[in-house]
Structure 1
Amino acid sequence: MSVRVFIDGAVGTTGIDIQDRLAPRGDITLVTLAEDRRKDAEARRGALTDADIAILCLPDDAAREAVALIGDGATRVIDASTAHRVATGWVYGFPELEADQAAKIADARFVANPGCYPTAFLALVRPLVRAGLVPADWPLSFAATSGYSGGGKTMIAEFEQGRTDTAFRAYALGLAHKHAPEMRGHAGLTHPPIFAPSVARVYSGMLGEVPLPLYALPGRPTIAAIEDCLRGAYADSALIGVAPCDGGAIRIEENAGTDRMTLRVCGNDAAGQARLVATLDNLGKGAGGAAVQNLNLMAGLDPLAGLNL
């Protein structure tokens, strides 16, 4: 028996990607809504409550409205917006975050899909905080660059229709990005990291980096100790791997077109400095791929079905 899935917001970049992944699958039946009824509240309510699982690819306020439309119905929800990522009653949809996270997702009614930037940050930082290698109150920073598809249709048009000639652009300079609470809360930090996001002239891909002054950390951990911690955390993961840092360049496009994430620990033990680097696809493990992985877990299906390995 197939699982009935409704994608509310299937016209956006993430929604289209998820729909394309699910459409060919025999274990999924897509509940659809005609374009002219997409903003009709009663039509949406019908589609939402007719589904076993609804995936919300919407702005925050519209996502909250969708949850209200479902009400006490039986429909389970995956929300790809930022509306519920630190909300009480919602399970964070990063299966590899903790040893029991996949099981929590499988049993949850409400799952908040992670953001692409927090996925990279948390993959690098959470194991180190959990192991005590990085104190919870340490002043961390996170510099990350995304492909322009992360900005949705508006940014895609800006880059592809000649509305900008920039190759690289920093933004969120006021240090109040909406991903900061998510990164702080799920990493177990006392303070949010200094988050420095940017966008590059590449369609998809992401490269995020956390610098660490090892000489200043309690216990002065070595690069090998940091790498061993990350390898242990993801030893059983099919999607997250730790690669050696060979001193060469790391490309933002390394995992573009896949649902993989690669972590590296680069640095210099003599100087006591390290650079933790994560690469992933902002539309894959950072968005649509994560939603499909969570859907698989919630529906009791192969966790890797529909993913690009």
Structure 2
Amino acid sequence: MKFKIFVDGQYGTTGLKIHEMLENRDEIELLTINEEDKKNDEVKKELLNSADLVFLCLPDAASKHSVSLITNDKVKVIDASTAHRTNPQWVYGIPELTSTQREKIKNSNRVCVPGCHASGLIIAMKPLLEKGILPKSQKLICHSITGFSGGGSTMIDDYENGSFDEVGGQRPYALALNHKHLPEMKYMLDLQEAPLFTPSIGNFKQGMLVMSYLVKKDFLFSASRDELINLYKDYYKGENFINIIEENEQYLDNGLLNPMKCNNTNTLEISVYENETDMVVISRLDNLGKGASGAAVQCMNIMLGIDEKQGLKSK
């Protein structure tokens, strides 16, 4: 038996990557749409309702419209947009989030894939909030740097064909402090207020670092780096795609942290650094892997009862 999969938005960055990841899998039959028909509701509705599972790789409004076209209640949907990430009727697509999240994904017909920045922050901060080291009133402070591939075809063209002087080395954005991933960060971590978060684009294609800054005096009880490492190891014990770094000296390259070392995998690595008063927790992941298409395929595997690791690489 083959599962029929339709990627709505197959010509965008995330959709193309999902297609690439699925096209050689024996148990998958990819349904495709011609580019000239991608806005034809009649053609699209037929594909949406004949699939076992649909990926939505579209802007928010278009994702909601596609969902409205689905009348077959057996069709499973994975949405890669921000449209449904704070909707309680949709399951958030981080299987490692809690001990029950994987089962929720398995039993749901509606799953939303997290944003790449949100994945890095949430996976790093969830254990600290769940175990009571940080209060839910904490104002989290986070910065990230990500590869330009997440910015779509125009941005990719700017970086690949523009001069370094034009695009620069690192460019912060969303400087009105209203990034679109903030609502899901607040919602999924059950915070009283959204984090203070600034993202930036780096002059590299894939990979990212999400850096969360902590002040030790804000902890509800004292905890050292080693204690946090042990907490993370226990919380994510047995997870194939979450790696906890124990030895920073072996992890860094002459004291530097390369954002691209998880590229082309579905792995997210957590490392922790400290001085006497402060800590920084850093998530390293592929923005197109665990940050987007890889996370979507991982959720698909769970929803279809396939081995969760099928078609995905771990570091």
- TM-score bracket relative to the smaller structure: over 0.9
1:150 aligned onto 2:150: yes
1:19 aligned onto 2:26: no
1:72-103 CA-to-partner distances (Å, cap 9, x unmatched) read: 53211000000000113100011011111111
Q: 2:299 aligns with which of 284, 287, 294?
A: 294
Give the match for residue 109 of structure 1: 109
Give the match for residue 236 of structure 1: 238
Aligned ranges 1:70-149 → 2 under 5 Å: 70-71=70-71, 73-149=73-149
SS of 2:98's equivalent?
coil
**C-alpha displacement of 1:196:** 0.8
Query: Where in structure 2 are there 5+ consecutive unaligned residues?
Result: none
Residue identity opposite 1:208 in structure 2: V
Task: Judge conservation of contact 2:140–2:195 (CA < 8 Å) in 1.
Answer: yes
SS of 1:61's equivalent?
helix
**C-alpha displacement of 1:158:** 1.2
Q: Distance in 2 between matches of 1:84 and 1:194?
A: 22
Residue identity opposite 1:186 in structure 2: M
CA-atom RMSD in angstroms: 1.1
Aligned ranges 1:159-238 → 2 under 5 Å: 159-162=159-162, 164-238=166-240
SS of 2:205's equivalent?
coil
* Poorly superposed stretches of 4+, deviation over 6 Å: none
**C-alpha displacement of 1:308:** 1.8
Residue identity opposite 2:119 in structure 1: T
Q: 1:266 aligns with which of 261, 266, 273?
A: 273
Query: Where in structure 1 are there 5+ consecutive unaligned residues?
Result: none
1:283 aligned onto 2:285: no
Q: Distance in 2 between matches of 1:193 and 1:132?
A: 18
SS of 2:144's equivalent?
strand
Task: Judge conservation of contact 1:126–1:188 (CA < 8 Å) in 2.
Answer: no
Task: Judge conservation of contact 1:207–1:278 (CA < 8 Å) in 2.
Answer: yes
Q: Distance in 2 between matches of 1:218 and 1:109?
A: 38
1:265-287 CA-to-partner distances (Å, cap 9, x unmatched) read: 1112xx12111011000000000
Q: Distance in 2 between matches of 1:123 and 1:34?
A: 37
Q: Distance in 2 between matches of 1:192 and 1:216?
A: 17
Task: Judge conservation of contact 2:49–2:72 (CA < 8 Å) in 1.
Answer: no
Q: Percent identity?
A: 36
Give the match for residue 255 of structure 1: 262
Q: Distance in 2 between matches of 1:258 and 1:110?
A: 25
TM-score scaled by structure 2? Answer: 0.95
**C-alpha displacement of 1:298:** 0.4
**C-alpha displacement of 1:231:** 1.2
1:103-129 CA-to-partner distances (Å, cap 9, x unmatched) read: 110110100011100000011101110
SS of 1:70's equivalent?
coil
Q: After alignment, is 42-51 or 246-255 more displaced?
A: 246-255
